[in-house]
């Protein structure tokens, strides 16, 4: 049997189920510039517990602020009503009764006590001997138990402790596990606080801990300074660790923590581990945390990135058409998403055919050749082509084969002047009939949309789609003095679409995106 087979075989014997603890609301909030409001913390906690079904959540550090206390109280109230209070935890400190009382006042029943896991931290930060620190820990644990709390214990800087002072680590563990008093500590949590370990070290150290303390439940808490947080988490699991700490989108101090989504899929697919995670909610919770934190997810981030289920090369789309040749176990439907086929200079006919198929459109071979040529030209100019654009590209290329736009912008004027509200005068043709209106607004584009809304309401007796999101950016590869791209998200009676406009002028780009949107909804109507 080879070494890889030995590791996998050993893993399957040791641990078929892995407990997932999410620390987005505590460790994740230590990301530079991230501070969740109390109601945001509650919304994230609800989704993590109820929808994603993580085993435990760590929601705050004790004694931080009154806002933090409000947030923990709200979360604990919700969790108690939902029968999930035992899954909520708060970081506390070896400070006598202070942290325990703070956590208890919030209604939380589990303290994650932060002890020092390296002799260097103990002596140089606390200025105490190991024996003194152990006495302080025991005092806090006893008091927490008197309050009816569950206690988990962090060994902060455990990685350096195992590197430089393993006897100190063992001294601490012996005192806490061999104590004649009934001081049950539910979990010992082993952090790589500074992100210094590699997988081989994790395997070595974790196995030493398990060999000496086989009856204890160990969690591993990784940091990503060397981009090894996921690998180290998996190494810990392979060594017999029972729990892994993660954060949504990999949020955390410095380079962040192990991303929940990546840890989950590798545990399940590569090692056949069992967890309680509902994978179809991974994308939803990622988007919620992305919105509240303001920290964007990289487009190529595995599982949750915007581009990870987008095929670009035409040969891949061709293989998918024929036999699913370019599918792997990470199918988008598993995560509540769908596969997309990018349209650009590398698309080829197969990508275009896939997008046309979803739109219910069929083209002849000659028509397909001409549309492919046009999309390639746009790709060479760095224009982003989406599925929403495709019907209009087809219409533009095959004018004699397809109907004209139902809605045309005949003319418009937008203006702005110092001391006056921006204005717009608009003339549009809708199904062959022209309408004209003027309006003022908070900006040129706002005035333009208000004029259109007036036309739709007065002359057509119809509601105008609701603008949900508006993003302006430089197209990929562009320059600040070149074209701008406007991406607008619209809602028309629950039907959501995104349209893009490209122009040297921001208002013109937005206007193009708006007319494109109106035509899409008009054709559907």
Q: Which residues are catalytic?
A: 26, 156
Contact 286/261 with Cβ under 8 angstroms?
yes
How many C-beta atoms surround the C-beta of residue 190 within 10 A? Answer: 29
Tokens representing residue 57 in the block: 């959540």
243: β partners? 19, 219
User: Residues near 386 by Cβ (< 8 Å), separated by ≥ 6?
Assistant: 343, 498, 500
Contact 500/388 with Cβ under 8 angstroms?
yes
Q: How far apart are the first and last CA of the chain?
A: 64
How many C-beta atoms surround the C-beta of residue 473 within 10 A? Answer: 12
User: Residues near 341 by Cβ (< 8 Å), separated by ≥ 6?
Assistant: 310, 311, 317, 347, 350, 351, 352, 354, 355
Tokens representing residue 233 in the block: 């988490």
Element spanning 197, H or E: none
Cβ contacts of 118-125, under 8 Å, gap ≥ 24: 118/156, 118/157, 118/158, 118/160, 118/161, 118/164, 118/165, 118/168, 118/169, 119/161, 119/164, 119/165, 119/168, 120/157, 120/160, 120/164, 120/165, 121/156, 121/157, 121/160, 121/161, 122/168
SS3 472: strand
Per-position b or e across 103-139, b if 16+ CB within 10 A of its CB: bbebbbbbbbbbbbbbbbbbbeeeeeebeebbebbbe
The Cα–Cα gap between 275 and 54 comes to 8
486: β partners? 472, 501
Residue 222 backbone phi and psi in degrees, to 5: -100, 150
489: β partners? 469, 498
């Amino acid at each position: 049997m080879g070494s890889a087979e030995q590791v996998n075989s050993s893993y399957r014997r040791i641990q078929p189920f892995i407990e997932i603890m999410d620390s987005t609301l505590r460790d994740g909030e230590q990301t530079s510039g991230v501070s969740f409001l109390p109601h945001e913390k509650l919304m994230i906690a609800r989704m993590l517990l109820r929808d994603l079904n993580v085993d435990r959540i760590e929601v705050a550090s004790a004694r931080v602020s009154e806002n933090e206390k409000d947030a923990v109280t709200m979360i604990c109230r919700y969790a108690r009503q939902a029968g999930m209070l035992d899954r909520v935890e708060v970081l506390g400190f070896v400070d006598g009764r202070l942290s325990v009382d703070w956590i208890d006042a919030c209604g939380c029943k589990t303290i994650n006590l932060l002890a020092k896991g390296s002799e260097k931290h103990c002596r140089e930060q606390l200025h105490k001997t190991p024996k003194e620190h152990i006495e302080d820990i025991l005092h806090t644990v006893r008091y927490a138990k008197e309050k009816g709390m569950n206690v988990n214990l962090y060994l902060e800087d455990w990685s350096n402790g195992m590197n430089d002072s393993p006897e100190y680590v063992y001294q601490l563990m012996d005192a806490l596990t061999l104590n004649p008093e009934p001081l049950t500590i539910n979990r010992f949590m082993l952090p790589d606080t500074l992100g210094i370990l590699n997988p081989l070290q994790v395997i070595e150290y974790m196995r030493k801990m398990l060999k000496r303390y086989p009856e204890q439940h160990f969690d591993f808490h990784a940091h990503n300074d060397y981009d090894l947080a996921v690998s180290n988490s998996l190494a810990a699991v392979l060594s017999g660790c029972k729990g892994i700490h993660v954060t949504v989108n990999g949020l955390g101090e410095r380079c962040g923590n192990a991303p929940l989504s990546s840890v989950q899929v590798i545990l399940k697919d590569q090692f056949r581990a069992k967890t309680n995670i509902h994978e179809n909610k991974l994308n939803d919770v990622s988007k919620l945390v992305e919105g509240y934190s303001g920290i964007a997810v990289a487009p190529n981030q595995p599982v949750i990135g915007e581009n990870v289920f987008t095929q670009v090369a035409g040969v891949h789309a061709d293989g998918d058409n024929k036999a699913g040749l370019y599918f792997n176990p990470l199918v988008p439907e598993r995560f509540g998403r769908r596969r997309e086929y990018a349209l650009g200079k590398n698309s080829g006919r197969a990508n275009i055919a896939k997008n046309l198929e979803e739109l219910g459109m069929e083209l002849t071979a000659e028509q397909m050749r001409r549309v492919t040529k046009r999309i390639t030209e746009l790709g060479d100019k760095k224009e982003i082509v989406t599925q929403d654009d495709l019907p209009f590209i087809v219409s533009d290329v095959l004018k004699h084969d397809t109907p004209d736009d139902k809605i045309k912008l005949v003319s418009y004027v937008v203006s702005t002047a110092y001391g006056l509200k921006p204005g717009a005068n608009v003339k549009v043709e809708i199904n062959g009939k022209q309408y004209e209106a003027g309006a003022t607004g908070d900006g040129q584009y706002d005035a333009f949309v208000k004029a259109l809304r007036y036309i739709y309401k007065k002359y057509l007796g119809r509601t105008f789609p609701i603008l949900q999101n508006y993003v302006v950016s430089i197209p990929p590869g562009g320059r600040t003095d070149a074209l701008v791209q406007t991406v607008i998200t619209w809602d028309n009676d629950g039907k959501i679409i995104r349209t893009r406009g490209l122009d040297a002028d921001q208002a013109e780009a937005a206007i193009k995106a708006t007319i494109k949107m109106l035509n899409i909804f008009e054709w559907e109507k």
